[in-house]
Amino acid sequence: MNNKKTSTYYIGICIKNKHTLTVQARKSKDFLSCELIDYFGERITTKKGLRKRLTQAVKKSVLQDYNNRFADNKQYNFKYIQVD
């Protein structure tokens, strides 16, 4: 790839608070949160690229999936996703 900002990132998702999921992109696995609920492995991308791919339709689908997954825990009602 010609884009010099494109790097290998390790991607995971964690719960920031009761309404927000955070997609973490780190250049080292060691810097991912120890509280990940899902790990997606290595990806060649940029954080800007991740944000771009999280379109409204994708966000809605992901939020719905995680809300269903945590339906038994009424503490969580995810409404937002952020890339960090």
Q: State the average pLDDT over residues 71-77.
A: 93
The answer to whether residues 32 and 11 touch, using CB atoms and an 8 Å cutoff, is no
**pLDDT value, residue 83:** 94
Residues 6+ apart with CB under 8 A from 52: none
Question: Residue 43, exposed/middle/buried by CB under 10 A (0-12, 13-18, 19+)?
Answer: middle
**pLDDT value, residue 4:** 59
What are the residue boundaries of the structural domains of the chain, listed by start?
7-72
Q: State the average pLDDT over residues 54-76.
A: 93
**pLDDT value, residue 37:** 96
Nearest to 65 by CA among 49, 81, 52: 81
Q: State the average pLDDT over residues 78-84.
A: 95
pTM: 0.85
pLDDT score of 1 more than 50: no
- State pLDDT tens for residues 17-62: 999 999 999 999 999 999 999 999 999 999 999 999 999 889 999 9
